[in-house]
Amino acid sequence: MINKTSKIDGKIKYNNGYTLLFAVLVSSLVLAVGISILTISKKEFLLSSAARESVYAFYAADSGLECAVYWDGKGKFATSSPDLSGGVLCGGIPVGGIAQFPSTSDIYGTFRTVFHVKNGDLGSCAIVTIIQRYVPDQDSGILIPETDIESRGYNMGWDSTSNNCNTSSVSRVERAIKYKY
Residue 105 has pLDDT above 70, yes or no: no
Predicted pLDDT at 75 = 76
Q: Report helix, strand or coil for 123.
A: coil
What pLDDT, in 10s, does the model give residues 20-50? 888 999 999 999 999 999 999 999 998 998 8
Report the pLDDT averaged over residues 45-61.
Answer: 92
Predicted pLDDT at 4 = 53
Whether the Cβ atoms of residue 139 and residue 118 lie closer than 8 Å to each other? no
Query: Whole-angstrom Cα distance, residue 86 to residue 89?
Result: 9
How would residue 82 be classed by pLDDT, with cut points 50, 70 and 90? low
115-138 core/surface letters (b: 16 or more CB in 10 A; e: else): bbbbbeeebbbbbbbbbbbbeeee
Query: Whole-angstrom Cα distance, residue 56 to residue 125?
Result: 9
**What are the phi and psi torsion angles at 51 (to 5°)?**
-65, -40
State the virtual CA torsion across 65, 69, 72, 77 in degrees, nearest 10. Answer: 10
Query: Whole-angstrom Cα distance, residue 93 to residue 75?
Result: 19
Whether the Cβ atoms of residue 147 and residue 165 lie closer than 8 Å to each other? no
Distance between start and end Cα atoms, the chain: 93
Query: Whole-angstrom Cα distance, residue 66 to residue 90?
Result: 9
Whether the Cβ atoms of residue 180 and residue 147 lie closer than 8 Å to each other? yes
